[in-house]
Each structure stands twice: as structure tokens, then as C-alpha cells.
Structure 1
Amino acid sequence: MRILHTSDWHIGRSFHGHATLDALRGVLDALVARVREHEVDVVIVAGDVFDSAAPAAACYSLLTDTLRSLADAGAAVVVTSGNHDSAARLGFQSSLLRDGIHVVTDPLTIGTPITLADEHGPVHVYGIPFLEPALVRHLWPDAELRSQHHTLAHAMDLIRADIAARGGRSVTIAHCFAAGVDATPGVEREIRQGSLDVVPLAVFDGPDYVALGHIHGRQRLSDAVRYAGAPLHYSFGEADKPRGSWLVELDAAGLASVEWLDLPIPRRLVTIRGALDDLLSDASHAGAVDAWVCAQYTDATPQPEPMRRLQARFPHCATVMHTPEGVRGDDGLTYARRVRAARSDAELVDAFLAHVREGEGASEREAEIIRDVIDERTLTEALA
């Protein structure tokens, strides 16, 4: 049996204020093409199908179109809910879906598999929707469910018990933060508090393959436990991470092979850094003209209209950051102490500039302008 493992579609998420729906549609069309090309039997979507609990109507249309296309390509589809999804909204029409499309959002179905078959016999697919301990604790009052670790461990105990009773090959789907992953700072909206919600890898022992979601980068925790990551780049922190899915092959004995299949990147992400004038003119940045750009300009002082000026050269400049270089270190003085130490109006202005610039006072040219303004004001007051 051939299984395609994907996750974290985040339908409806924006990228620095830019809609991503059209780009995602193109990537998901490419994923459907991979399903046809490799004659995939089952597609797994491991949570975070939508980006919000209340997606717009166009998001539902994209999901419906993609699920229909996957089914038309000959694959069964198993979708589970993630921490971004509303289980109720994602699962409300599950009973109306065509045969072969399964949406798992009900915690009480954990331990009851979706059973598929190939020439070697049955394959039991166990979907675990995202489990918030506080919201599911009442379902299993005899279990200690104080954290993601406890809750996923309980879910896996239910699954292992069913596997032992049924026999055969098995696959599990979960959406969580597993121990050993390399998360992208500021990207995965954390579902952990301290270390309580990190799920140890040993929790997932038992199934032939475990398809995980939540982390946006491809990661292999073991041969049988992997993250596929998101199909689009949703942050500049993800720029160096490939986009794609895992092609998992099960033979009669269980896991036979796992292969990575790349997906196209609609627009690559580039971070450029330097003085603003250099960013606007240096030929070395010419390759970024068609990319999403994060511009970090290093001038000592903020420059006027940096976004407008940068977008004249880089039409897809998405964010601008002022990250000055060569700024003097913090001298430990508070703003009040700087003000009290000033002996003239010019020194008072310089103290303000030093405070807001993290130690960098007025330049020679700025000091000259400050003196001229103060002298003009003094003369005006004297003549009044």
C-alpha cells in the first residue's frame, strides 16, 4: 500500500498581509498530480487543514475541490483536525462525504480504525484529532490527562489495545509537538507550556508508521515517525525548508520504504541585509526581484519610507526591519539620568537621540542642524 503523508495546509493563512489561497491551490494541484503519478492508495492529512476556527467560504471551496480531486485520482483520504481547526466545522459534513474520504474529529473514535486493504490484507488507520487535555478529560474520567503527553499516551494505549486485538498492519495520525523536533521560532503557534506538552517519541511505539502534523518543516524522528511539514512557506523562518510530502510504502511485513516527494514553491523567500542605499542599488541583490523579500537595512538611523522605496525594486517585498549595525553599547543610563545630565538644549536633544537609538547620539551633521534650530528659536524668543 502506498500512503502519501501531508499536513498543515493552513487554508486561509495570509503571508505578511498577502493572501495565499491561489498559491496553495496550485501546490495542492501538484500534490494531486503526485498521487496520480505514484498511484497512491491513501492520502493522510495530519491536522491544521484550516488556519482558523472560522475559515472563509473560499477556504471550504478549496478543501472540497482538493478532496474531490484526490478521490478522483484513486486515493482514499484520511483527514484529522489540528489545533488551528474547529473540529465541529471541519467534521460537520463528514457523514455526507463521498466514499473513501474520512474526516476524523471525534475523540471517542480513537481506537476505532478506518480499515483499508491491499493485496496483503488489511491496513488499520487510526486518526487522533487534536486533543486539548482540559476539553477531553471528561471523556475518560479514570485517566490522568494533565498534559499533551498524558493525553496522547492514553490515546495510543487505546490504539495499541485495538491493534493487539485486530492484528495486521497499522498507521497512526496525530497532531502534536513531539520530543526531538526542530521547531521554527515564531512559526508554529505553540501548543505547549514549558515542557509539559512535549510528547516523548516512545509514546508512538507500536504502529508501522506514525504521520505527525504541527511542525512546518520536514523532519524524521525515526524511520517510522515523521513530520511532513506544510506545503507552503508561511514565514521567512521557513525559507530554507523544503516543501513536499512523504511517500510511505507498506509491504506484507509492515513499513518497507519512505521517500520524499518535493512540491513546487510558488515564490521563493529571500532575506537581504545591508545599508538601504545598497539594497536599492547593489547588483548582488538582483536575484531577489521576483522573490518574497524580507529586507533588513542596517543604517544607524531609521530611513524615510523604506517599504515604498524597496518595493520599487522588489515588488514582493513583504517586510522591512531596521537592524542597525555599529550601534554603541548600552551605557546603563536611564532616560531620566540622561536628561538630568544635559547642560544645554543641544545636549538635551542629544540625550533623547541616544536613548531612542540605544546609545547612538546625534551625528556631526545632525548636531549642526540642532544647533542652528536652537539658535534660531533663541533669536526669535529674544525679538518677541
Structure 2
Amino acid sequence: MSRLLHTSDWHLGATLYRHSRQEDFDAVLAEIVAIAQESEPDLIVHSGDLFHSSRPAARDLMRAMRTLDKLAAVAPTVVLAGNHDSSAYFEFLNHVSGPSRGRGLFFVDQFRPGHDGGVFTFDARDGEQRMRMRLAVMPFVHPNHFWQRSSASGTTSADYVQGMRELQEELMQALHDGYDPGRDILLFAAHVFVAGAEPSHSERAVDTDAAFATAPGDLPVVSYAALGHIHAPQAVPGVPFAARYAGSPLQMDFGEANDTKSVVIVDADPGRPVRILPRRLTGGRRLACFTGPLDELRSTAAQYEGTFLKAAITGEDDDALLSHKVADIVPGAILIDAAPVREAAVGTVLDATPAEEPDLPDAFRAYLAGEGLSDAAAQSTATAFACLLSELDDETPSPAPAEELLRAALEHTWTETP
């Protein structure tokens, strides 16, 4: 039997309403290391979004490397770049800490064909039985990857879906080259949004656009697909084999307040269905929401100790003392917000629940609607804004069709035949 440990979406450097979460990260990462040491996997996979920003702070780099070094001491550890990560940083980390340094760490900075770094092979430790774990890897692939000079309109969602399908087919072919069904276990790791998965709404809305989703049937057929990008741990419906999002190890926003976080342990034998063993994570402070009168909060205050708390109070006026009243009742909580419950205003634009923090595109859409734009115009403008926002963390130049057409004309100048 071989064993895989799957974790994902650490988002090191993320804050919660400007509150630091460094203590929470330290607690949950130590828990992940302890699980790895106890379970003794043959391979560890991190399926992307190691960092929350493409330019992580030095302390977050150190936190990541200290943890990954401990994991690599247990088993080879493969880390994919997610949409929040910098491919340049990953290339650097692979150079200074990758396999050439003999440290058992593998940073996958960008998509590579199967025969050029897109497939890894690892031996599994199982007594006399010699098994191999063959892992195809697909870090986050930006739509610009598929833009062609011949296209004057940029990349459409159909171009992206078709391009992703072709990349995954190529990886599947590479996985099967030299495949021994009595010895090999085929695995796939990807940072991708698969249709049917349920986002937690702490992901960027532009990255969970259904038009750009990968169809479940397009995933390579393997024993287990280790997926990253969606923060709620879940199996992916519609996939005829085991495919799971490990999810984020911490509750990233109040929309995840009821999520149970975990890592995934996968036991696999050649030719047999895998056994999935989620291991619950309890490190880090919980996010909690309360709705009700102050008297009810007072009677249940103990359950909110040590949490990040959002309180919606009924029967109270909106005054400066409300936050102080809540803080006095639950002094051990970090109070994110305390506000009276109000009737919803007619024509409210935002459709998020009180437990969710709207992202910038949603807030911008609300602003545009408040300025008198029609729903259609506000939505169209906000979508364009979200696309521009996603470019800030991507290092692939945005397509500029006019510039490319001009460059092509200069490279292939017409000359008159004498």
C-alpha cells in the first residue's frame, strides 16, 4: 500500500479585516506537520496557493520554508503554484531548495508537458512490494497561456476550456507512457476550478467563473486527483474516480464559519479503488457569527471565547456603545463587527449574507448601481474590473492584439517583387 497526504490553499500572509493571523497559521501548520509525521505518507502534495500574495513578505516565506522542510523530511513534497502564487518566486524556491539541493522539495512554477517536468515518479515504501506513484502536475494556468497572435479578440472562455482539455490529455498520455498496471499508481494534482465544486465565496469571484470551469469529464482518469483552488474541503461530483479539494487549513472568511477544515490522506494500491481518510484540522482560531439579542449572547458567551466574532444584535439601536457592550460580554473574542440587525433596504444590490465579506468586484458593482447604472451595465463593468484585478497577480503579460499585429507586420514586411 502507498500513502499520499494532500493539503492545499494555505494562503500564508492572509489577514482577516486587517487582523493578523500569524498565530493561527503557526498552529495549523504545526498540526499538519504532526499529522504527516504520524501518518508517514510516501508522498505529500500541496495543490496551490501557498501564499496569499504574489509578493509574499519575508516572514511568510520563512514560515512556508520551515514547514515545507519539515514535511520534506517525512516524504517527497510537491508544491504547485496557484493563482495567488508567483511563478518567478516558485522558480527561485525550486532553484535554492528543490531536488538539485537534495531536500525532497519540488516547486512547480508553471505548466510543463509531461515529458518535460509535467510528470513525477516516486517510489513507494511498502516492504517487498515495489510500487511507483506517478504524479501529473498542473499548476494554475492563466487564460493568457492560450492567447494566440492570430486572435484579434483575446482568449474566450471556450478557448480556455478547450486549451485546458488538451493540456490534460497530454499529461494523461505521458502518465501512461511506460505504465505498469501491476506496479504503478496514477495521480493528478491541479490548481483548477472544476464545474460542480461549491466555492466558499472567499475565493476571487473571477476565478470561479462557471464559463471557465473545467468539466469533470476532462480530468485525467487516475486513482486520485488532488485539487486546489476551492477553500471548502469536498469531493467533486460527476468525477468517476476519487477527486477532492483539500480546502484551506483555516477558515478564510466568515462564509466558511461552519466549514470543518482538513487534510486528506489517501491509501492506494495498483488496480484498486483508493481509500480516502480526511484528517480534521483544529489549529487556529475559529470564525463565529452570532445573531440575536444581547441577553442571548450573554448566556452563550463561553462558546465564542477565543474566536473572531461577527455579532448582529437585535433589539438595539445603532450607537457607538454597542461594540463596547458586545466586547464586555465576550472579552476573549476578537470582535470583527457588532451592528444592530436592520430590515433589508429596498433595491439592495449586494446579495452576500451578513457573514460574508464582499470582494472588490462585488463592492464596485454595488457602487456603480448606487450611481444610477442599470444592472446590466453595472455587472458588465464589474466583470471587466474583476478581470483587470486578476491581472495584478499574474506575471503573464496581458494580450494586446493591436501591438502583436503590428509586431507581426514589422517582422514580415512586404517587399515588392522586381
Comparing 90-99 with 190-199, which one deviates more in the overlay? 190-199
Distance 1:194 1:30 in 2: 33
Following TM superposition, by how much is the alpha carbon of 1:273 offset from its aligned partner in structure 2, in angstroms? Answer: 1.3
**Quick check: 1:190 aligned with 2:196?**
no
- Give 1:257's match in structure 2, choosing from 275, 278, 282: 275
- Give 1:324's match in structure 2, choosing from 323, 341, 345: 341
Closer, same or farther: CA 39–139 of 1 in aligned 2, 3 Å: farther
Closer, same or farther: CA 30–117 of 1 in aligned 2, 3 Å: same
Q: Which residue of 2 aligns with 1:34?
A: 35
Q: Tell me if structure 2 keeps the 8 A contact 1:246–1:259.
A: yes
Q: Tell me if structure 2 keeps the 8 A contact 1:218–1:229.
A: yes
Q: Which residue of 1 aligns with 2:131?
A: 121
**Quick check: 1:103 aligned with 2:119?**
no
Following TM superposition, by how much is the alpha carbon of 1:311 offset from its aligned partner in structure 2, in angstroms? Answer: 2.3
Comparing 23-32 with 291-300, which one deviates more in the overlay? 291-300
Q: Tell me if structure 2 keeps the 8 A contact 1:295–1:317.
A: no
Q: Which residue of 1 aligns with 2:350?
A: none
Q: Which residue of 2 aligns with 1:2?
A: 3
Following TM superposition, by how much is the alpha carbon of 1:145 offset from its aligned partner in structure 2, in angstroms? Answer: 6.4
Distance 1:272 1:35 in 2: 35
Letter paired with 1:101: L
Closer, same or farther: CA 104–193 of 1 in aligned 2, 3 Å: closer
- Give 1:247's match in structure 2, choosing from 251, 256, 265: 265
Following TM superposition, by how much is the alpha carbon of 1:182 offset from its aligned partner in structure 2, in angstroms? Answer: 1.5
Q: Tell me if structure 2 keeps the 8 A contact 1:116–1:124.
A: yes
**1:204-263 alpha-carbon deviations (Å, 9 max, x no partner):** 142221110111111012541110101111112112111111101121325431111112
Comparing 305-314 with 54-63, which one deviates more in the overlay? 305-314
SS in 2 for 1:19: coil
Following TM superposition, by how much is the alpha carbon of 1:131 offset from its aligned partner in structure 2, in angstroms? Answer: 0.4
SS in 1 for 2:295: helix
Q: Which residue of 1 aligns with 2:404?
A: none
Following TM superposition, by how much is the alpha carbon of 1:321 offset from its aligned partner in structure 2, in angstroms? Answer: 5.0
TM-score by length of 1: 0.77
Q: Which residue of 1 aligns with 2:12?
A: 11
Q: Which residue of 1 aligns with 2:378?
A: none
**1:175-222 alpha-carbon deviations (Å, 9 max, x no partner):** 12111111123x111344753111111111422211101111110125
- Structure 2: 5+ residue stretches without partners: 348-418
Comparing 7-16 with 247-256, which one deviates more in the overlay? 247-256
Q: Which has the higher contact order (CA 8 A, sep 6+)?
A: 2
Closer, same or farther: CA 138–93 of 1 in aligned 2, 3 Å: farther
- Structure 1: 5+ residue stretches without partners: 332-384
Closer, same or farther: CA 314–152 of 1 in aligned 2, 3 Å: farther
The 5 A counterparts of 1:197-346 are 197-221=212-236, 222=239, 223-275=241-293, 277-278=294-295, 282-299=298-315, 301-315=317-331, 316-320=333-337, 322=339, 324-325=341-342, 327=343
Following TM superposition, by how much is the alpha carbon of 1:328 offset from its aligned partner in structure 2, in angstroms? Answer: 9.2
Comparing 94-103 with 206-215, which one deviates more in the overlay? 94-103
Following TM superposition, by how much is the alpha carbon of 1:286 offset from its aligned partner in structure 2, in angstroms? Answer: 3.4
Q: Tell me if structure 1 keeps the 8 A contact 2:192–2:214.
A: yes
**Quick check: 1:181 aligned with 2:197?**
yes
Q: Tell me if structure 1 keeps the 8 A contact 2:199–2:208.
A: no
Q: Tell me if structure 2 keeps the 8 A contact 1:110–1:128.
A: no
- Structure 1 or 2, whichever has the larger Rg, is 1
Closer, same or farther: CA 208–265 of 1 in aligned 2, 3 Å: same
Following TM superposition, by how much is the alpha carbon of 1:37 offset from its aligned partner in structure 2, in angstroms? Answer: 0.9
Distance 2:191 2:19 in 1: 26
Letter paired with 2:139: P
Closer, same or farther: CA 133–285 of 1 in aligned 2, 3 Å: same
Distance 1:137 1:120 in 2: 43
SS in 2 for 1:199: coil
SS in 1 for 2:88: helix
Comparing 203-212 with 284-293, which one deviates more in the overlay? 284-293
Following TM superposition, by how much is the alpha carbon of 1:121 offset from its aligned partner in structure 2, in angstroms? Answer: 2.9
Distance 2:291 2:243 in 1: 37
Comparing 296-305 with 266-275, which one deviates more in the overlay? 296-305
Following TM superposition, by how much is the alpha carbon of 1:297 offset from its aligned partner in structure 2, in angstroms? Answer: 1.9
**1:3-24 alpha-carbon deviations (Å, 9 max, x no partner):** 0011000000012221112221
Letter paired with 2:136: Y
SS in 1 for 2:107: strand
Letter paired with 2:198: D
SS in 2 for 1:4: strand
- Give 1:133's match in structure 2, choosing from 122, 133, 143: 143
Closer, same or farther: CA 296–92 of 1 in aligned 2, 3 Å: same
SS in 2 for 1:184: coil
Comparing 245-254 with 54-63, which one deviates more in the overlay? 245-254
The 5 A counterparts of 1:69-108 are 69-72=70-73, 74-97=74-97, 98-99=101-102, 100-108=104-112
**Quick check: 1:158 aligned with 2:170?**
yes
Q: What's the Cα RMSD here? A: 2.6
Q: Tell me if structure 2 keeps the 8 A contact 1:191–1:197.
A: no
Closer, same or farther: CA 68–318 of 1 in aligned 2, 3 Å: same
Letter paired with 2:243: V
Distance 1:317 1:279 in 2: 18
Closer, same or farther: CA 251–58 of 1 in aligned 2, 3 Å: same
